């Protein structure tokens, strides 16, 4: 058999193997498409329909839902103006999500460094403590925070007992309460990726930096942070994405007064009875999440490229 005929036979066999692999995976791919993409397509279609008078949708094409994200119609002259309430909700959601990410990083980085620098036998114990919150439901964890920060809660009781304050600090139903609760809930999602990155860090680089008369701040900025950047980006995405669409924590700690995007979407499908607007908000939130994930992929790729 000649070399050309042998290569042709290998190519045909490779194509047959690839075709068989696709055929074997076709049922799983079909199920994934129906279960995951099907509901999403329904939401996308609903976002281009007209709101029904008592909920649901009317099968009439309309851009009103997408326009209503940023604009509202005047009830007297039907002119468009900026929807200040919507913009306030968007800004609050973005602000709290960013602050949650920064707080979890500020707390999570030294925590992850501490765990990664412990003896191997002790690391499992500290990681076990970090993962304990995942054993309980998000709702229960949020209610636990309310018992800490409410007027008669653990924090105010301790501060009054120590004589540091004379009256309880009112935190419930504020953005600060939501921020505290979300930082507590999502802190493990920051610590674990950071620990994975720091655990692979070569500690001899620290010695090299100090031998070159670098200060601790210079070593942190120019040695540690660039090397563990993939872990920082991964943790930031894992915290920012769910924070942006959070519903339970803002609903309980914010008392329904300090609404975020997740609560606003639920309101449209519930009391608001404006399903197209809820659908368009959901798709818009999905687009923001996709942009954040693309940023993560690019930043992680640059972090893993020594010549980037």
Whole-model pTM? 0.81
Q: What is the pLDDT of residues 246-280, one digit of tens each?
A: 888 888 888 777 788 888 888 888 888 888 999 99
Residue from 261, 280, 265, 239 nearest 109 by CA: 239
Name the band, by pLDDT with cuts 50, 70 and 90, for residue 292: confident
Q: How many CB atoms neighbour CB 80 within 10 A?
A: 12
pLDDT at residue 300, rounded to an integer? 63
Q: Residue 56: in which H helix or E strand, if any? A: none
Q: What is the pLDDT of residues 164-179, one digit of tens each?
A: 888 888 888 888 889 9
Q: Residue 226: in which H helix or E strand, if any? A: helix 225-227
Q: What is the pLDDT of residues 200-259, one digit of tens each?
A: 888 888 888 887 878 888 888 888 888 888 888 889 888 998 898 888 888 888 877 778
Tokens 């990664």 locate to 116
Residue 9 has pLDDT above 90, yes or no: no
Q: What is the pLDDT of residues 132-157, one digit of tens each?
A: 888 888 888 888 888 888 888 888 88
Q: Indicate the average pLDDT of the chain.
A: 84
Name the band, by pLDDT with cuts 50, 70 and 90, for residue 3: low
């Amino acid at each position: 058999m000649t070399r050309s005929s042998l290569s042709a036979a290998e190519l045909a066999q490779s194509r047959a193997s690839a075709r068989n692999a696709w055929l074997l995976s076709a049922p799983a791919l079909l199920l994934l498409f129906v279960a995951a993409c099907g509901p999403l397509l329904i939401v996308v279609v609903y976002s281009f329909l007209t709101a029904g008078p008592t909920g649901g949708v009317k099968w009439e094409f309309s851009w009103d839902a997408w326009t209503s994200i940023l604009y509202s119609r005047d009830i007297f002259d039907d002119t468009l103006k900026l929807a200040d309430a919507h913009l306030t909700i968007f800004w609050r959601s973005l602000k709290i999500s960013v602050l949650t990410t920064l707080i979890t990083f500020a707390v999570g980085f030294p925590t992850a460094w501490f765990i990664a620098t412990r003896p191997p036998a002790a690391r499992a114990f500290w990681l076990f403590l970090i993962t304990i919150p995942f054993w309980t439901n998000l709702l229960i964890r949020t209610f636990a925070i309310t018992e800490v920060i409410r007027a008669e809660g653990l924090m105010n009781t301790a501060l009054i007992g120590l004589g540091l304050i004379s009256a309880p600090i009112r935190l419930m139903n504020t953005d600060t309460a939501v921020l505290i609760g979300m930082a507590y809930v999502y802190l493990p999602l920051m610590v674990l990726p950071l620990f994975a990155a720091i655990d692979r860090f070569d500690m001899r680089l620290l010695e090299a930096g100090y031998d070159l008369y670098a200060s601790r701040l210079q070593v942190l900025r120019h040695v540690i942070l660039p090397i563990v950047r993939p872990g920082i980006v991964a943790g930031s995405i894992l915290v920012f994405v769910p924070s942006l669409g959070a519903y339970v924590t803002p609903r309980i700690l914010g008392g329904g007064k300090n609404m975020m995007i997740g609560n606003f979407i639920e309101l449209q499908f519930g009391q608001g009875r404006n399903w197209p607007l809820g659908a368009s908000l959901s798709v818009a939130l999905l687009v923001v999440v996709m942009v954040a994930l693309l940023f993560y992929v690019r930043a992680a790729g640059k972090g893993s490229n020594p010549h980037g």
